[in-house]
Amino acid sequence: MSQNAIVNLDGQTFEFPTFVGTENEKAIDIAKLRDLTGYITYDPGFKNTGATKSAITFLDGEEGILRHCGYSIEELADKASFLEVAYLLLNGELPTQSQLDAFETAVKKYTVTNEALLKMEQVIPTSTHPMSELSALVGLMEGQYNPDETSENILRLIAALPILAAWNYKKSIGEAIVAPDQSLDYCSNFLKMMFAKPGEDYKVDPIVSKALNKLLILHADHEQNCSTSTVRLIGSSHASLFSSISGGILALFGPLHGGANQAVIEMLEEIKQAGGDTTKFIAMAKDKTSGFRLMGFGHRVYKNFDPRARIIKKAADNVLTALGVKDPVLTIAQELEAAALSDEYFVARKLYPNVDFYSGIIYRALDIPTNMFTILFAIGRLPGWISQHMEMMTNKDPIGRPRQIYVGSPERAFVDIAKR
Ligand code: ACO
């Protein structure tokens, strides 16, 4: 039975409705709080703020549950293809075989070299981080297409991201680009554009393309995280889908979010260079004055374990064995995890490895350069961002505009510059 939340303020009693989601998540609806009481809520980092109602992804951080439209991440990662999961996120239902075939064909139709965009890509300096370049190029797509062609633009984006990523890599190694191959599936085409020499009869290793498929699925959506909230916030001003995704890519770039996958490998390398002793790094992570955090550890929502990290840890072991790769940083990562999980500091704060802790080790085994790890995350997250943007527009969510409590100077008179 629904109940009201009672708030007592300044000698008055106010009632606010509550509601419960499909999975028993409870919320107090404070939409009228300021109008009725004059107060706002104060919640830095939105730790307790539900910004929207969403039917796309459910996660329970205490129980380590993640489901998209009701389907568990474990089953999706094990049984689906990335485009199948993309279809699910965009449509709310798993596709039939003919629906999936039609969706794949539609994505392939746009899997072509965009010559005008390529010209722009070529003038971006190689010193630019791949994530900045990706964001810029997606932003520039804005000028090429009619924003009202929503379904075409969705397909264009899904087709474009792997192409833009491969261009960046080819430029960084001074090689000519390899044209997309529409005869290949999504992951295999990306691998060919990345690793084939121009004109080479390149054979995609199925172990590698399967591993990539799994990684992309594991990143496909994660409800209202920093980059997705950015996408929704930008979109809420009715900026275009391209602008919203361009902004989401930049939010993902930061090391506290998607950029952690690059930061983890850099940290593990640093530990290796320093002789492999994890003790010093654990001590540094616990020392608040050091400014150092254990990258790939901790999560805003998961306080028990991150189900994606469990799947990725197992996959890392399998992929390295299947490819015959011996990566010493895997051993360091395992030691670091074991040391942290038995340390009171990490246990008390419920800090566990997150999705980014082991993903970089797989990317390395697939020969993806470290500065492109977050690009892979972005390719994976794209269907999630798009579906969240669509939901926001369909639901006619109002423009996102938090309030604040002003703590600066009270009113004062302007002082002429000569007298300051
Ligand atoms: N290493 C050491 N201490 C940590 C870490 C860490 N990785 N993460 C959190 N803590 C500590 C904090 O210092 C704080 O301690 P205190 O209570 O003594 O002050 C406590 O744990 C809670 O941390 P918060 O920063 O308040 O947690 P928040 O939810 O704001 O941050 C975040 C979550 C950003 C993921 C954080 O855990 C972090 O910085 N982790 C490292 C970066 C990372 O791996 N990011 C990827 C996240 S997954 C993703 O976005 C795809």
Which helix (H) or strand (E) segment holds residue 213: the answer is: helix 206-218
Residue with CA nearest ligand 1 atom 16: 349
Q: Which two tokens stand for residue 188?
A: 């295999």
Residue nearest atom 35 of ligand 1, based on CA coordinates: 299
Digit-coded pLDDT (tens) for 201-228? 999 999 999 999 999 999 999 999 999 9
**What pTM, to 2 d.p., does this model score?**
0.95
Task: Please say whether the beta carbons of 356 and 296 come within 8 A.
Answer: yes
Indicate if the pLDDT at residue 246 is higher than 80.
yes
What is the pLDDT at residue 170? 97
Q: Which pLDDT score is estimated for 1?
A: 56
Q: Is the dihedral of CA 372, 373, 376, 380 positive or negative?
A: negative
CA distance 294 to 332: 13
* pLDDT tens-digit map of 279-290: 999 999 999 999
Cα–ligand 1 centroid distance for 286 (angstroms)? 11
Q: Which atom of ligand 1 is nearest to the CA of 225?
A: 50
What values do phi and psi take at 411, rounded to 5? -55, 140
Q: At 198, is the pLDDT very low, low, confident or very high (cuts 50, 70, 90)? A: confident
Q: 350 CB under 6 A from ligand 1? A: no
Q: Which residue has the least CA distance to atom 4 on ligand 1?
A: 293
Q: Is the dihedral of CA 87, 203, 79, 21 positive or negative?
A: negative
Query: Is 317 among the residues known to form the active site?
Result: no
CB of 309 sitting under 6 A from ligand 1:
no
Do 398 and 236 form a contact (C-beta atoms < 8 A)? yes
Q: State in Å: Cα 8 to ligand 1 middle.
A: 34
pLDDT digits (tens, 9 = 90+) for 10-50: 999 999 999 999 999 999 999 999 999 999 999 999 999 99
| Each residue's pLDDT tens digit, 145-161 | 998 899 999 999 999 99
Is 384 near ligand 1, meaning CB less than 6 Å away? no
| Ligand 1 pocket mutation pick from 49, 250, 257, 299 by most atoms within 8 angstroms of CB | 299
Ligand 1 atom at minimum distance from 293 CA: 1
**Nearest Cα residue to atom 32 of ligand 1:** 299
The alpha carbon of 35 and the centre of ligand 1 are apart by a number of angstroms equal to 35
Q: What percent of the chain has pLDDT over 70?
A: 100
Q: What is the pLDDT of residue 199?
A: 85
Residue 188: pLDDT band (50, 70, 90) is: very high
Distance CA 196, CA 203 (A): 8
**Residues 166-194, mean pLDDT to the nearest whole number:** 97
From the candidates 257, 299, 306, 389, which is the catalytic residue? Answer: 299
Instruction: Say which residue the tokens 């590698």 belong to.
Output: 208
Domains, the chain, in order of start with CATH, read 4-50 (2.20.28), 73-217+378-387 (1.10.580.10)
- In short, whether 133's Cβ falls inside 6 Å of ligand 1 is no
Alpha helix ranges (H) inside 324-415:
328-341, 344-348, 355-365, 373-394
Q: Comparing C-alpha atoms, which of 85, 101, 91, 69 is closest to residue 380?
A: 85
